[in-house]
Structure 1
Amino acid sequence: MAQRLVCRDCHRVLDVEDGEQCPACGSNSLTEDWAGYVVITHPEESQIATEMEITEPGKYALKVR
């Protein structure tokens, strides 16, 4: 069963199976320990995306532990 995890490297919120890797950056460092998220639709126009160094649209966690 898929679960919602977050990539510790790029902070993307993912619905993945255990043992999978982040499809966005390829990292295997995924965690369930995160809080809040933001949906970025137009990163080139978003101040939050700029501050988080996000260049691709998607769902991103605000705090990853």
Structure 2
Amino acid sequence: MRNWLRRKRRRKRRVVSVAGARKKLVHVCRDCHRVVEGESCAVCGSANLSSDWTGYLVIIDPRHSEVAKKMNISLPGRYALKVR
């Protein structure tokens, strides 16, 4: 029971360090899985964001990435593998 509670708390506090800057809570777009720091996604324009996500993926060249093709990603950027 304790492990379950710890994992739940950890998930809520998911943070990402951005180039050595202070850590901040980030959200992920539920539509395109892109990591977003504002209130809406700059790529698809959706405001349907989630803070419950797992897996961090950085796509540099989507034309040559098999993972980007599988996830239907056409733009470089930071993405989440799974969004709840």
TM-score under structure 1 normalisation? 0.88
Taking CA–CA contacts closer than 8 Å with sequence separation of 6 or more, which of the two structures ends up with the larger relative contact order? 1
Post-superposition, which runs of at least 4 consecutive aligned residues in structure 1 deviate over 3 A?
none
Where does structure 1 lack aligned partners over 5 or more consecutive residues?
A: none
Quote the RMSD (CA, aligned, Å): 1.0
Q: Deviations over 1:3-44 (max 9, x none)?
A: 30000000001122xxx2111100010000100111000000
Matched, 1:60 2:79: yes
- Which has a greater percent of strand? 1
Alignment equivalent of 1:4, drawn from 26, 46, 64 = 26
Q: Which residue of 1 aligns with 2:45?
A: 26
- Which has a greater percent of helix? 2
Which has the larger Rg?
2
Size of the aligned set, in residue pairs, is: 61
